[in-house]
Amino acid sequence: MLLEVNNVTKQYDIDGQILKAVDAVSLTADKAEMLSVVGHSGSGKTTLLSLMGGLTRPDTGTVIIDGIDLWALRDNQRSELRNRRMSFIYQFSSLIPTLTAIENIILPTAFGTFGADREEYAKELLGIVGLADKARAYPSHLSGGQQRRIAIARAFINDPEIVLADEPTGDLDEQSEAEIIRLFHRMNREKAVTFIIVTHNREIAGQTARQLRMTNGVLGSSGVNSSLMKK
């Protein structure tokens, strides 16, 4: 199993009131699996993603990546593991405005080891997201959908095994949304990337093999799309 979340809890003290953002959640995800977590705003989805990605320390429970306990690692070891094996895609692209599209894509390689052909791979990724002609464009010259696709290309520059996506199509039009989901399926199919997609959009969730629902910090099964399950 590539990812194991075991009985993870995260709570916050807000003016003397204890809020359980994530309440004894367990889940697993295998290599090349695509699953979604759906739920209303405030249900704990984003906190769960942060826990899975090693960005937020759980109060109880463990997060295991390919047999490695994330929170048994030192901070620098955990950062190195994230950089080598995981990527995040957020609702907002967060591109550096003074860098070109290809420079934005290459940026994560500055924090780890990567071959000299990193620019060639960035160009390949630009082609995959349909923006081969935008390599030298700055973010201000790109549409919102194009910026999102640049951010997605950036998420793949280090060949992650796991991609954690938080409302990745949240503010996009239907066409851009469909293009991005197609890209996710392509990367899932061609590069065996595991996707965990947090969304409030049931249509997006329905395009993943397995759907989970989060309500008040509690996670439960929502459905399975058998046509998308790995054989």
For 128-152, the pLDDT digits (tens) are 888 999 999 999 999 888 898 899 8
Quick one: pLDDT band at residue 230, thresholds 50, 70, 90? low
* Calpha distance 41→202 (Å, rounded): 14
pLDDT at 109: 82
CA 31 to chain centre: 14
| Domains observed in the chain | 3-228 (3.40.50.300)
**Which residues, listed in sequence order, are joined to residue 223 by a DSSP beta bridge?**
211
CA triple 190-29-34, angle to 5 deg: 45
For 149-196, the pLDDT digits (tens) are 899 899 999 889 999 999 888 777 788 788 888 889 989 998 899 999
Q: What pTM does this model have?
A: 0.89
pLDDT at 165: 95
